[in-house]
């Protein structure tokens, strides 16, 4: 990663003479191992922060301008507090604006500020690079203003602000970003806004994320349709009763209710219920270091995403199947929104070379050059300087 302090100083020293960063903060990306395609706003996840981060540097300006510099892209944006709003053309800078809005709403004296952002999180592959920008920016501003804001309150404010800017919120990503610890997996409960930490039992394993490089087209519409199916299914099962969640149903209940649910909706709902149970089962497997059970859970989860929720694709299925055939692989599964994107594979050191060899066949068969990243469970958002 770039020396963001040096880059920040060079970028702004001729601009207004106040170039030295007051605070530099860092936030991690994250990976969901289970639970990603669960019940909207009521999800249960097995996740971890990863050791790829975004860093944000902030310093004071003499004027009232707010300047943004993306060091990795060589791009610059600007705004003022009065004009602090979402703009499509501002792209990455909008994520920093989310954090600025939090502190402006809390009454902190947001005037002229310089921001620089740089990171090592692969973008647009489902590893929460945008949420990391927001979390790092919020942490940097908290340090800059010496604000006495608890992580819990900051997460809540970011959720509100992001919904205002983008019409959606990523509460789960914020919970992971602020509560993750090195070498720990997380059980994240979106309903209760709670995180349980589990010490990683995978010291003898490596985690590889594989970007299939498959172009992802019309993903938002497909996912919207599936969320609609889940909503309809829950309404039918609960007979419109408010406050009902899929956690109130066992898989057997759905089987008995097959006559009440259209087949496609039943499949979607079955995935959600079974995936929730898989998270609970995986938590037990982690704590007991029951690796055969964990392997089965991961395998069944991918099969469910493929056959019931139907968000996989031939390329992803090929990568998962080839990985599962290798001795020393604990599990492999798609991660992210689906219809392309990434897989993760948990494997022993001695299986890595054989795993890489399989990629030559992938490129020959499908024509895409895959890219892989090794990651480890990492610590959460923190101040690097300031």
Catalogue the active-site residues.
173
Compute the CA torsion angle 218, 223, 229, 230 (nearest 10 deg). 180
Helices 129-144 and 93-105 pack at an angle, to 10 degrees, of: 40
Q: Show Cβ contacts of residue 360 under 8 Å, excluding neighbours closer than 6 positions.
A: none
Sequential DSSP letters for 209-233: EEE------SHHHHHHHHHHHHHHH
Sequential DSSP letters for 162-193: HHHHHS---HHHHHHHHH--TTEEEEEETTTT
Per the CB < 8 A criterion, the answer to whether 12 and 19 are in contact is: yes
Compute the CA torsion angle 290, 337, 224, 217 (nearest 10 deg). -150
Looking from the CA of 261 toward its CB, the CA atoms found within 13 Å total 25
């Amino acid at each position: 990663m770039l020396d963001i302090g040096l880059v920040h100083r060079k970028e702004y020293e001729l601009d207004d003479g106040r170039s030295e960063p007051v605070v530099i903060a860092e936030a991690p990306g994250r990976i969901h191992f289970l639970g990603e395609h669960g019940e909207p706003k009521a999800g249960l996840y097995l996740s971890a922060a990863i050791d790829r981060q975004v860093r944000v540097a902030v310093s004071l300006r003499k004027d009232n301008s707010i300047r943004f510099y993306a060091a990795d892209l060589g791009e610059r944006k600007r705004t003022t507090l009065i004009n602090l709003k979402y703009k499509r053309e501002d792209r990455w800078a909008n994520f920093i604006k989310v954090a600025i809005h939090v502190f402006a709403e809390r009454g902190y004296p947001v005037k002229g500020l310089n921001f620089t952002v740089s990171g090592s999180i692969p973008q647009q592959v489902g590893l929460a690079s945008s949420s990391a920008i927001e979390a790092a920016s919020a942490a940097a501003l908290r340090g800059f203003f010496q604000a006495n804001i608890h992580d819990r309150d900051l997460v809540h404010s970011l959720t509100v602000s992001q919904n205002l800017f983008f019409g959606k919120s990523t509460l789960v990503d914020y919970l992971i970003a602020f509560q993750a610890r090195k070498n720990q997996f997380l059980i994240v409960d979106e309903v209760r806004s709670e995180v349980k930490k589990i010490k990683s039992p995978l010291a003898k394993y490596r985690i590889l994320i594989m970007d299939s490089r498959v172009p992802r087209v019309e993903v938002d519409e497909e996912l919207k349709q599936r969320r609609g199916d889940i909503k309809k299914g829950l309404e039918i099962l609960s007979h419109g009763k408010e406050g009902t969640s899929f956690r109130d149903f066992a898989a057997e209940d759905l089987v008995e209710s097959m006559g009440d649910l259209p087949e496609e909706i039943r499949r979607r709902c079955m995935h959600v219920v079974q995936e929730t149970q898989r998270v609970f089962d995986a938590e037990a497997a982690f704590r007991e270091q029951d690796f055969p059970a964990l392997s089965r859970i991961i395998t069944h989860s991918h099969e469910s995403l493929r056959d019931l929720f139907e968000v996989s694709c031939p390329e992803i299925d090929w990568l998962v199947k080839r990985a599962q055939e290798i001795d020393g692989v604990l599990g492999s599964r798609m991660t992210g929104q689906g219809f392309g994107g990434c897989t993760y594979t948990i494997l022993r050191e001695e299986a890595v070379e054989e795993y890489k060899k399989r990629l030559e066949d992938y490129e020959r068969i499908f024509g895409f050059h895959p890219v892989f990243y090794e990651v480890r469970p990492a610590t959460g958002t923190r101040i690097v300087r300031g």
